[in-house]
Amino acid sequence: MINFTPGPSQLYFTVEPHVRQAFREGVPSVSHRSKEFEAISKSTTEGLRELLGISKDFHIFFVGSATEVWERAIQNLVHERSLHFVNGAFSKRFHEIATQLGKTAAKVEAPLGQVFESNYKVDSTFELIALTHNETSTGTMLSMDFINQFRKQFPDSLIVVDAVSSLPYPQFDFSKIDSIFFSVQKGFGLPAGLGVWIVNDRCIAKAESLLSKGISIGTYHNLPTLLSNAKKNQTPETPNVLSIYLLGKVVEDFLRRGISIIRKETEYKAAIFYQAIHSHTLAQPFVKDPKSRSQTVLVAETGAHTELIKKELESRGLYPGDGYGDQKKTQLRFANFPTHSKETFERLVDLLEKVN
């Protein structure tokens, strides 16, 4: 059985043996103040740094979830004003969290299934610009050109990119952004329960500046506290040690396979999928503009044929994800993560063509 839901995803195939090894090594009961934990934490962050090409002025922190990062980012990086690019349920939630925390949160919106026009107008400056690289709900993906333009236009803003359902695929230019974050149960194919928050020194400075003005930036998971612990390869609280270990091991596996191969395979799998539904009689790509289509969460508009296609695929052991929210009965979503092999996608495409 192959699970294509975009999260929690099908596990990466090495996870179960890594869990067995972790138990043999006593990892699940390692103290988070021990040398053993520091070595695990260091190995995972160094692996991530290599895999994602994270530059030296960025720090890597372990938190509970990507949802937590939405809250912590607003709390630590915004006093008054943030700007959010909203084109689906998850970018919308990031915006809502800023509002809930009492910030003046502006937004630029695009219709579901579309990205943003380049002539959007905003009439102020913002402390934080929130971009959702991959909108898991609709299968759109922002281009790197779009993300990279903000630095020049808003040199004083912190550019924060939600990369939850796209990493490790995208290659970010770390000179053009200030923070990215993800959770481990998507592209990394791990059990849920860990978020990874990557920030540069500008983010640390902003949090310290808010703190010095007496503005609350939270407690154990504020940026200065995360940083002082991370410098010792520790965490403020007892973290999900097992998950930090497993992430490190899967990152090692990805490095061994080669990130450029993972990227090329991702694009190949997306290409044959979109090709197959482009010429399909019962399905079509939900995202019309090929340049806006996600490479990692592929969404098919299947309308009245959704149930038929779903049943046919499931009868062959391939489980698509439902459409998100209102699209539950008219769309199908297919995660295209490193755990999904080329052969799996070739089989998916064959089956889709047979339902044609």
Q: Does 30 interact with its own copies (rule: CB under 8 A)?
A: yes
Q: Hey, what are 309's tokens?
A: 């296609």
Q: Which position among 18, 32, 249, 333 is part of the footprint of its own copies (CB under 8 A)?
A: 32
Q: Does 5 interact with its own copies (rule: CB under 8 A)?
A: yes
Q: Does 3 interact with its own copies (rule: CB under 8 A)?
A: yes
Beta carbon nearer to its own copies, 54 or 74: 74
Q: Does 15 interact with its own copies (rule: CB under 8 A)?
A: yes
User: Binding to its own copies (CB under 8 A): which residues in 180-239?
Assistant: 183, 185, 190-194, 214, 216, 218-221, 236-239
Q: Does 61 interact with its own copies (rule: CB under 8 A)?
A: no
- The least CB distance from residue 141 to its own copies, in Å, is 21
Beta carbon nearer to its own copies, 11 or 332: 11
- The least CB distance from residue 67 to its own copies, in Å, is 4
Burial class of residue 284, CB neighbours in 10 A (0-12, 13-18, 19+): middle
3-state SS record for the chain: CEECCCCCCCCCCCHHHHHHHHHHHCHHHCCCCCHHHHHHHHHHHHHHHHHHCCCCCEEEEEECCHHHHHHHHHHHHCCCEEEEEECCHHHHHHHHHHHHCCCEEEEEECCCCCCCCCCCCCCCCCCEEEEECEECCCCEECCHHHHHCHHHHCCCCEEEEECCCCCCCCCCCCCCCCEEEEECCCCCCCCCCCEEEEEEHHHHHHHHHHHHCCCCCCCCCCHHHHHHHHCCCCCCCCCCHHHHHHHHHHHHHHHHHCHHHHHHHHHHHHHHHHHHHHCCCCCEECCCCHHHECCCEEEEECHHHHHHHHHHHHHCCEECEECCHHHCCCEEEEECCCCCCHHHHHHHHHHHHHCC
- The least CB distance from residue 130 to its own copies, in Å, is 14
Is residue 131 within 8 Å of residue 160, measured between CB atoms? yes
Beta carbon nearer to its own copies, 324 or 345: 324
Which residues face 67 on adjacent strands? none
Q: Does 36 interact with its own copies (rule: CB under 8 A)?
A: no
List the x/- string, 134-173, binding to its own copies by CB under 8 A: ----------------------------------------
Q: Does 241 interact with its own copies (rule: CB under 8 A)?
A: yes
Quick one: which of 279, 324, 290, 291 has its CA closest to 306? 324
d(CA 250, CA 160): 25
- The least CB distance from residue 74 to its own copies, in Å, is 8
Quick one: which of 96, 92, 160 has its CA closest to 126? 160
Q: Does 314 interact with its own copies (rule: CB under 8 A)?
A: no
- The least CB distance from residue 65 to its own copies, in Å, is 4
- The least CB distance from residue 245 to its own copies, in Å, is 10
- The least CB distance from residue 144 to its own copies, in Å, is 27
Q: Does 243 interact with its own copies (rule: CB under 8 A)?
A: yes
Q: Which position among 38, 42, 67, 79 is part of the footprint of its own copies (CB under 8 A)?
A: 67
- The least CB distance from residue 71 to its own copies, in Å, is 5
- The least CB distance from residue 31 to its own copies, in Å, is 6
Q: Does 8 interact with its own copies (rule: CB under 8 A)?
A: yes
List the x/- string, 83-112, binding to its own copies by CB under 8 A: -------------xx--xxx----------
Q: Which stretch binds its own copies (CB under 8 A): 16-24, 39-47, 107-115, 137-145?
A: 16-24
d(CA 197, CA 140): 22
What type of residue sits at position 38?
E
Residues that bind its own copies (CB under 8 A): 3, 5, 7-11, 15-16, 19, 23, 28-32, 63-68, 70-71, 96-97, 100-102, 183, 185, 190-194, 214, 216, 218-221, 236-243
